[in-house]
Structure 1
Amino acid sequence: MTAPSNQTHASPHASPHATPQQRFLVLFDFDETIINESSDDAVLRALPGQRLPEWLRNSYREGHYNEHMQKVLVYMAEQGVSEDSIHSAVEKIPPAPGLLSLFQYLQGHRQEFELAVVSDANMYFIEKWLEGAGVRHLFAQIFTNPASFDASGRLVLLPFHSHACSCCPDNMCKQVILREYLAGRQKERGGAPFQRVFYVGDGANDVCPSLALGPRDTAFPRRGFPMHRLLLEMSQEAGLKANIVPWVSGEDIVDSLKEVVEER
């Protein structure tokens, strides 16, 4: 199954830094990985009462979060929340500890690393935050739910794709995205795969893509978050082959990547 064409604003080969010379791929989740909280929760501070009514909070169905967030954005528009207010709320979200240091390191090693975001947030939140932080140019691809403002001023959110994975939310399986991206990039690179793949995340939906990683690859779960706890409970019998390196700060990830780069 393939993702819709509006999944991102740039194709990998259109990016000036997505070149065959890059040896490594680093994939990032967004909420509570690049940023230090959920962007969906952060934008609620733009509401007059800074919280959702109980009837809307209680309307969430397990596995259908994208559908729930569509209702939230309709409600925010009905409450008169403007694009400027949402933009401002997004830009004010703090980065996770040490993530800007990690991006600074990757900026200095762009010839080695290709970067992409794989997130169940949405394109508007992610692009606005990355642009505000001055790091949007580092990412060859953003895989996330399409979102844009319509003529009435409402932020319209759509699901990313459909899939057959029973472990993931109905609108996104990150393992499907990862496998398709790796296959597509290998073809574009003349048959050369990335030497290693790194996946940085925090949530339960970051476990599924971690199962697609090989023994030379590394999953970086945020220490104490669901991804970390779930990976600790898994065994090789469950299909987990990757190295597991928990992180508290982005500087922990820098230390690991430095070791890999120096292994020439």
Structure 2
Amino acid sequence: MTAPSNLTPASPRDQRFLVLFDFDETIICENSDDTMVRVLPGRRLPDWLRSSYREGQYTEFTQKILAYLSDQGVAKEAIQSAVEEIPPTPGLLNLLQYLGSRREDFELVVISDANAFFIETWLEHAGVRPLFRHIFTNPASFDRSGRLVVLPFHSHSCPRCPDNMCKQAILREYLVARQRERGAPPFQRVFYIGDGANDVCPSLALGPQDTAFPRRGYPMHRLLLEAQQAQAARFKASVIPWGSGDDIVECLKKITSER
């Protein structure tokens, strides 16, 4: 992967726009949890493990898979190497190159239901970790036995989201915290880039000046179209589907009046 160049110093008090990224199937082109299956002998989960998934308990399921990997002798180095080899979604490195060249305008954050080890590993390997001010995701670390342990990010009361993470709650809390830290008015615009069903909830918190970028043909796209039709009065943000990071670059140039 080619790291973006010209990473100019950010000016947090002056940045006009906040860009929020999902990780799986948004920054990277697949679900990072699928990587764990590829490092298994035989590259397949046993049926008893696959059938143990409970609705809304994805972190619990991920932890079961990681425990099984450890039991099968899969080492940290194998997991790390597999994560580093995940290709980016088409055009996403171009998007990050563009945002990196305008760090005085854009603040970048990841909100993902993956885990800290996968995200930090991939971003560092791609050379783009310095672009992101914060990463909100499930904590993850290796214990003394060499097993990767993933914990829930938080608890919440949102009925729309998995038990371990409500991205809307994270977004709202972050906006309040950043306004207090910046000692300045809120961001002029907020952009949310995602693909999955759990990216719909934070999109509902966006205002009329903001934009939700759902990946075309993915669950977020379909669900946002339904939300626009069923809750037209409640859903205020613009919705712009994307197929590659280059599509988002062109939209951001227009929205932010850069020609």
After TM superposition, is the score higher than 0.5? yes
Q: Distance in 1 between matches of 2:32 and 2:126?
A: 15
Count of residues in correspondence between the two structures: 249
State the shift of 1:238 in Å. Answer: 6.3
Task: Identify which of 38, 43, 59 aligns with 2:31.
Answer: 38
In the alignment, is residue 121 of structure 1 matched against residue 114 of structure 2? Answer: yes
Query: Matches of 1:199 and 1:174 in 2, distance apart?
Result: 11
The answer to whether structure 1 residue 104 and structure 2 residue 101 are counterparts is no
| 1:240 Cα offset (Å) | 1.2
Q: Distance in 2 between matches of 1:175 and 1:238?
A: 18
Matched, 1:20 2:17: no
**1:48 to partner: Cα distance:** 1.1
CA contact (8 A) 2:19 2:190 kept: yes
Q: Which residue of 1 aligns with 2:58?
A: 65
Q: CA deviation at 1:18?
A: 5.8
Please point out which of 145, 148, 152 is paired with 2:145: 152
Gaps of 5+ in 2: 1-8
Residue 253 of structure 1 aligns to which amino acid in structure 2?
I
SS of the aligned residue for 2:133 comes to strand
The residue number in structure 1 matching 2:244 is 249
1:181 alignment partner in structure 2: 174
Q: Deviations over 1:8-40 (max 9, x none)?
A: xxxxxxxx6361110000000000000000000
Residue in structure 1 matched with residue 209 of structure 2 by the alignment: 216
Displacement of 1:260 after TM fit? 2.5
* 1:199 matches 2:192: yes
Counterpart-to-counterpart distance in 1, 2:172 and 2:42: 42
1:140 and 2:133 aligned: yes
Q: TM-score, normalised by structure 1?
A: 0.92
**What are the superposed Cα offsets for residues 68-113 of structure 1, whole Å, 9 maximum, x if unpaired?**
1111101100000000000011011110010010011011011000
Cα drift, residue 179 of structure 1: 0.1
On the 8 A contact 2:11/2:103 being kept in 1, the answer is no
Provide the rounded CA distance (Å) in 2 between the counterparts of 1:169 and 1:237: 25
The secondary structure found in structure 2 opposite 1:234 is helix
1:48 aligns with 2:56: no
1:239 matches 2:214: no
SS at match of 2:223: helix
Identity of aligned residues (%): 69
Q: Distance in 2 between matches of 1:163 and 1:30?
A: 21
For residues 127-151 of structure 1, the C-alpha deviation after alignment (integer angstroms, 9 at most, x for no partner) is: 0000010000000000000001111
Corresponding residue SS for 2:86: coil
Q: CA offsets, 1:151-201, max 9 Å, x none?
A: 110001000000000000000000000000000001111141000000000
Residue of structure 1 in register with 2:3 after alignment = none
Contact 2:139 2:150 in 1 (8 A): yes
Gap runs ≥5 in structure 1: 1-15
CA contact (8 A) 2:13 2:184 kept: no
Q: Distance in 1 between matches of 2:198 and 2:70?
A: 28
2: CA distance, partners of 1:35 / 1:109: 22
Distance in 1 separating the partners of 2:220 and 2:241: 10
**One-letter identity of the residue aligned with 1:70:** Q
**1:260 is matched with which residue?**
255
Q: Distance in 1 between matches of 2:16 and 2:255?
A: 10
Q: Please give the TM-score of this superposition, normalised by the length of structure 2.
A: 0.94
